[in-house]
Amino acid sequence: MAEYFSRDWLALREPADHAARPESLLGPLNDALAECATPLQIVDLGSGAGSNLRYLAPRLVGPQHWTLMDHDADLLAMIAEPDGAVTIARQVTDFSAGPPPIPHDTSLVTASALLDLVSADWLDRLVTMLTQWPVPVLLALSYDGRIEWSHPHPADEHVRTAVNCHQRTDKGFGPALGPDAADYCAHAFADKGCRVMIETSDWQLGADQAVLAAALIGGWAEAAAEMEPQARPMYQEWASSRRRDIADGQLHLSVGHCDMLVLGKH
Ligand SMILES: C[S@@+](CC[C@H](N)C(=O)[O-])C[C@H]1O[C@@H](n2cnc3c(N)ncnc32)[C@H](O)[C@@H]1O
């Protein structure tokens, strides 16, 4: 079943995504790109409404041309033309049959919040393709299965387990790697002789992110109930309780993600 994401959800998560991304991978990435011809040719897989472009383009050195790929033409159409030395092309492409072909003059392949949707087979094919020439790869904001609350609720671990089961269901690419995606991907690239750097990019949600936190809680309760329909009332009670905690403004929630930079064999 193909996955579509609402513009409202992507807009809601964008500030948390950008705040979470580690600056420490940018130095090695810009060093690796310094040798490339300009404008840098950047391919963004699963661009959605352009969050990765808005985060990364101002942090890369030099003129850039971004090819933004997604199966959702409406999301791609929302992306505003950047100012200055960055140009974009939108490409409506469905990846469900396999990773799209990547031109060999590409300087960087990147994606954000995509990796946990794909299957092991799909990822193996991407890794095989991207290790045929030494192209850097930056895969941001892969959910890694950790959900941590400042104040515990007895059902938290039950919810987390059910949510992580749901994350492994088919998202249009075969059984999704979900929380295992980054680990699987890191090993796959390392096995091909690549250098892999990983940093955490956890969402840190406090009172200032109450709307995002409330949306997550609702989504998690629904996903958990899909996995375990007989426990729906328990998940709904948990969600009501957690929404009250959020409304009280005392709760802090951390959602585990990681960013990965892969530097190809030279
Ligand atoms: C979680 S969103 C992330 C969007 C964006 N990268 C961001 O960080 O906001 C995942 C994106 O993958 C795209 N996607 C999902 N399945 C796809 C498929 N089979 N082919 C192409 N794009 C797909 C969705 O349309 C969506 O834009």
DSSP letter string, 63-122: -EEEEEEES-HHHHHHPPPPSSSEEEEEEE---TTSPPP--TT-SEEEEES-GGGSBHHH
pLDDT for the residue numbered 219:
97
Q: Best of 14, 45, 66, 71 to mutate for ligand 1, by most ligand atoms within 8 A of CB?
A: 71
Asked if the structure places residue 64 within a domain, the reply is yes
246 in any annotated domain: yes
Per-residue pLDDT at 265? 64
The 3-state DSSP class for residue 69 equals: strand
Whether 170 maps to a domain, the answer reads: yes
At residue 126, the pLDDT reads 98
16 lines ligand 1 (CB under 6 A): no
20 lines ligand 1 (CB under 6 A): no
- For residue 200, give its domain range: 7-265
Given the CA of residue 46, which atom of ligand 1 is nearest to it? 12
Count CB-CB contacts under 10 A for residue 91. Answer: 14
Question: Is residue 114 domain-resident?
Answer: yes
Q: How far apart are CA 178 and CA 35, in angstroms?
A: 34
Residue whose CA is closest, atom 8 of ligand 1? 112
Distance of alpha carbon 150 from alpha carbon 59, whole angstroms: 32
Strands 203-205 and 86-92: unpaired
State whether the beta carbon of 114 lies less than 6 angstroms from ligand 1.
yes
- Mutation test of ligand 1: which of 3, 67, 142 has the most ligand atoms closer than 8 Å to its C-beta? 3
- Please tell me the distance from the alpha carbon of residue 123 to that of residue 263, in angstroms, as a whole number: 17
At position 34, the amino acid (one-letter code) is A
CATH code (residue 121): 3.40.50.150
* 2 Cα to the center of ligand 1, angstroms: 10
What's the rounded Cα separation, in Å, for the pair 66 and 69?
A: 9
- The model carries a pTM of 0.97
Tell me whether residue 2 is in a domain: no
Ligand 1 contact, 170 CB (< 6 A): no
Q: What is the pLDDT of residue 48?
A: 98
> Does residue 1 belong to any structural domain of this protein?
no
Q: How far is the CA of 231 from the centre of ligand 1 (A)?
A: 30
Angle (CA) 113-78-136 rounded to 5° is: 40
Backbone φ, ψ for residue 160 (5° rounding): -60, -45
Residue 162 lies in a domain: yes
**Closest atom of ligand 1 relative to the 75 alpha carbon:** 27
- Give me the phi and psi of 35, to 5 degrees please: -85, -15
- Say how many Å lie between the CA of residue 113 and the centre of ligand 1: 7
Q: Which two tokens stand for residue 89?
A: 């092309």
Residue 188 neighbours by CB distance under 10 Å: 19
Query: CA 265, CA 135: separation in Å to the nearest integer?
Result: 8
Does residue 40 lie in a domain region? yes
DSSP state of 230: G
Q: What is the pLDDT along the chain (266 residues), one digit of tens a residue?
A: 788 999 999 999 999 999 999 999 999 999 999 999 999 999 999 999 999 999 999 999 999 999 999 999 999 999 999 988 999 999 999 999 999 999 999 999 999 999 999 999 999 999 999 999 889 999 999 999 999 999 999 999 999 999 999 999 999 999 999 999 999 999 999 999 999 999 999 999 999 999 999 999 999 999 999 999 999 999 999 999 999 999 999 889 999 999 999 998 64
Query: Of ligand 1's atoms, which has the minimum distance to the CA of residue 95?
Result: 20
Assess whether the C-beta atom of 75 lies below 6 angstroms from ligand 1.
yes
Cα 244 to the center of its chain, rounded Å? 28
Domain count, the chain: 1
Q: Which of 146, 260, 120, 262 is nearest to 202 (CA)?
A: 146
**Residue 95, pLDDT score:** 97
Max distance between CA atoms of the chain, in angstroms, equals 58
Distance CA 230, CA 129 (A): 43
**In the chain, what is the straight-line distance between the N-terminal and C-terminal CA atoms, in Å?**
38
Torsion of CA 73, 78, 84, 85, to 10 degrees: -20
- Asked whether 235 and 221 are in contact (CB, 8 A), the reply is yes
